[in-house]
């Protein structure tokens, strides 16, 4: 056997060993169960819990209010289990297997990138893949069920990057084949990635980053064609993003402004980098809703230092820094990978799973320094890397064990983030479900000192008071908080998690919902729709049909959609108000787009049936 074949065999065995160690080392996450918003994101599945019909599957994967949604990621859950609620361990196992697939794709891509830069490209690709895969910051992305969308998006993104890298290497010798690969990456794999998660659009940016690294200088004309092709998805991204930002979707219900979010993200991204490169057990809690918001560049002072650090990294990502090409590429890859979820879109502040694919760029940026050190201090470097990788394996395994023990996890995360309401709610929920509502109440009451303005906390305490004492909790303070507290609508979800309050007549939620609807933080269209819908459900359950219909109409007017309009029409028919129902149905028919007909065939069929059932022959002809 030649030395080359022997080396390839060793690398192959090393890759197999890496995959096996990951599978068994992260095995504890199979016991993690559902956390946070796993089940709420899958809740449309409950409308057809057995998924026997193709139309039920279609309705579920198109249940998102906004285009394009994440239909491919949702479909993958149905491949695991066709019944709701699904078996959590099955979903976790698939997440873990997708992570292993991504490790193989990372190895293949790095091997291709490093082939002309090092004689040990295979070994370096294996090492960097292991450092990326075993980083403790990756555990959240694998253990958190609903982040299947992120894992699958990364799979298609890595496949696209493999094709783009191969195409750029052969553009001078086999241009036809190269362009087939480029068009496959952009025309097939990028749409598939976007249908898993919107971050897939970043493939076009990554493609532009590869140009100075790989594109032959003599092919300038085709290079311009490629750059123009890569710019088209970016224009689509801007066209999609600007209306959402101008409409303020989600911004009003946050406890921070757009500028405060940007300042805060400078510190958060620096923390992400630290958690990626410095493995440890602390600071990896899923719940970071107590994160200190930056009110400006010096509030707190660490904001300014973090901003300067990121500015330095941004400069280092450009050729003016005169660093190795792969260092430029790696830093730019990381910063661009964080650009959607850690910039202007008003998402939540802090989630480690956002680093899943972008963190690969940090290891790529460090490779030139590691390769140079390898030439001078080989033994010392290998020993240090072995210790470092061992520390990563230990920390990731312990974090996987933490995720896999829900009761221990709940206590540990609250200890890590003592002022996190979400961590307190998670532990209180365990106590309540274990038949210890008084312990849950005491736990939540202990949070009141640091969260006096939280409507979510006050609402949950009210629910537990009702359950324990079978009487209404004093509601004046609750109503006041509902009218002023930021992010007040989160209370509805937490109340449902902690068991609904008994429906005695003396506990009327209508004034509370009325206060939320007046809250200046809850004025965006989506929040108003949800509030009016929840209020209508409450009224319907208490026999207040006329009030429920009126609020369903307000929900429809807040954010018109085919499904909410049909709900109103059906209720009007039940009240024998046929004329108003038919007028609304005609309005829905006029505004029914081809996208509605494609995404919601059941609703369109129901619309047609109701029109025929309520209209006169003249109306039907029209």
Q: What is the pLDDT of residues 268-305, one digit of tens each?
A: 999 999 999 999 999 899 999 889 999 999 999 999 99
Pick from 244, 255, 327: nearest CA to 289: 255
The pLDDT tens digits of the residues spanning 190-249 come to 999 999 999 999 999 999 999 998 888 778 888 899 989 988 888 877 777 776 666 555
**Separate counts of helices (H) and strands (E) for the chain:** 31, 0
The two three-digit tokens of residue 94, written as one number? 């698939």
The pLDDT tens digits of the residues spanning 461-501 come to 877 877 776 555 556 777 888 888 876 555 555 555 444 55
Query: Which spans in 470-616 are helix H?
Result: 476-484, 490-497, 510-518, 525-541, 545-558, 562-574, 578-590, 594-599, 601-614
Confidence band, pLDDT 50/70/90 cuts, at residue 252 = low
Handedness of CA 101, 49, 559, 598 (dihedral sign): positive
Pick from 580, 590, 527: nearest CA to 553: 580
The pLDDT tens digits of the residues spanning 3-62 come to 667 777 888 899 999 999 999 999 999 999 999 889 888 988 988 888 888 888 888 888
- The number of angstroms, rounded, from the C-alpha of 445 to the middle of its chain's C-alpha atoms is 31
Q: Give the list of residues 6+ apart from residue 444 with CB closer than 8 angstroms, or none.
A: 424, 425, 428, 457, 460, 461, 464
Q: What is the mean pLDDT of residues 418-423?
A: 91
Of the spans 148-162, 163-177, 316-330, which averages the highest pLDDT?
Answer: 148-162
Pick from 528, 580, 524, 534: nearest CA to 554: 528
Query: Which spans in 87-147 are helix H?
Result: 88-114, 121-133, 139-143
The two three-digit tokens of residue 393, written as one number? 């394996």
Q: What is the pLDDT of residue 251?
A: 57
Cα gap 371→427, rounded to integer Å: 47
Pick from 485, 488, 498, 490: nearest CA to 452: 485
Cα gap 331→317, rounded to integer Å: 5
Confidence band, pLDDT 50/70/90 cuts, at residue 94 = very high
The two three-digit tokens of residue 196, written as one number? 């898993």
Residues, the chain: 622
Q: Which residues pair with 299 in a beta bridge?
A: 296
Domain residues of the chain, as ranges?
A: 13-248+260-403, 419-523
Q: Which residue has the tokens 């849950």?
A: 440
């Amino acid at each position: 056997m030649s030395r080359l074949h022997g080396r390839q065999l060793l690398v192959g065995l090393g890759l197999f060993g890496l995959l096996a160690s990951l599978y068994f080392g992260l095995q504890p996450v199979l016991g993690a169960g559902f956390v946070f918003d796993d089940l709420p994101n899958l809740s449309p599945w409950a409308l057809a819990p057995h998924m026997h019909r193709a139309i039920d599957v279609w309705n579920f994967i198109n249940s998102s209010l906004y285009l394009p949604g994440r239909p491919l990621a949702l479909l993958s859950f149905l491949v695991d289990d066709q019944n709701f609620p699904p078996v959590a361990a099955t979903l976790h196992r698939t997440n873990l297997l997708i992570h292993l697939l991504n490790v193989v794709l990372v190895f293949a891509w790095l091997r291709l990138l490093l082939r002309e830069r090092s004689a040990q490209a295979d070994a370096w690709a294996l090492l960097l893949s292991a450092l990326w895969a075993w980083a403790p910051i990756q555990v959240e992305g694998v253990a958190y069920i609903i982040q299947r969308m992120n894992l699958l998006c990364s799979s298609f993104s890595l496949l696209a990057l493999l094709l783009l890298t191969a195409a750029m290497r052969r553009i001078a010798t086999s241009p036809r084949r190269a362009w087939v690969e480029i068009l496959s990456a952009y025309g097939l794999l990028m749409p598939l990635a976007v249908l898993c998660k919107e971050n897939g659009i970043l493939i076009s940016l990554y493609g532009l980053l590869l140009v100075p690294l790989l594109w032959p200088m003599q092919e300038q004309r085709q290079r311009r064609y490629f750059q123009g092709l890569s710019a088209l998805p970016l224009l689509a991204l801007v066209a999609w993003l600007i209306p959402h930002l101008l409409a303020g979707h989600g911004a009003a219900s946050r406890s921070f402004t757009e500028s405060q979010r940007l300042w805060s993200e400078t510190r958060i991204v620096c923390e992400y980098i630290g958690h990626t490169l410095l493995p440890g057990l602390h600071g990896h809690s899923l719940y970071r809703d107590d994160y200190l918001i930056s009110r400006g560049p010096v509030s707190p002072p660490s904001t300014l230092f973090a901003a300067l650090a990121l500015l330095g990294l941004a400069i280092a990502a450009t050729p003016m820094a005169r660093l190795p090409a792969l260092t430029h590429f790696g830093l730019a890859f990381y910063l661009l990978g964080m650009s959607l979820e850690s910039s202007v879109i008003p998402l939540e502040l802090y989630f480690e799973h956002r680093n899943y694919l972008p963190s690969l760029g940090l290891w790529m940026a460090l490779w030139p320094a590691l390769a140079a050190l390898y030439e001078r201090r080989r033994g010392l470097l290998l020993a240090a890397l072995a210790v470092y990788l061992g520390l990563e394996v230990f920390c990731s395994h312990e974090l996987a064990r933490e995720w896999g023990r829900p009761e221990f996890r709940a206590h540990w995360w609250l200890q890590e983030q003592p002022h996190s309401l979400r961590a307190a709610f998670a532990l209180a929920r365990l106590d309540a479900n274990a038949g210890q509502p008084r312990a849950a109440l005491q736990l939540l009451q202990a949070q009141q000192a640091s969260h006096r303005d939280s409507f979510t906390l006050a609402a949950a305490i009210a629910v537990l008071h009702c359950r324990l004492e079978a009487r209404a909790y004093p509601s004046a303070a609750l109503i006041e908080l509902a009218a002023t507290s930021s992010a007040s609508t989160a209370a509805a979800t937490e109340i449902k998690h902690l068991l609904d309050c008994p429906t005695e007549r003396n506990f009327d939620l209508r004034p509370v919902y009325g206060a939320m609807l007046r809250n200046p933080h809850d004025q965006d269209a989506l929040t108003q729709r949800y509030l009016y819908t929840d209020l209508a459900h409450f009224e319907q359950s208490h026999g207040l049909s006329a009030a429920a219909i009126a609020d369903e109409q307000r929900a429809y007017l807040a954010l018109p959609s085919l499904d909410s309009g049909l709900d109103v029409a059906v209720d009007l028919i039940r009240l024998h108000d046929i004329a108003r129902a038919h007028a609304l149905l005609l309005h829905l028919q006029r505004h029914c787009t081809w996208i509605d007909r494609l995404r919601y065939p059941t609703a369109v069929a129901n619309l047609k049936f109701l029109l025929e059932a309520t209209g006169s022959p003249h109306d039907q002809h029209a």
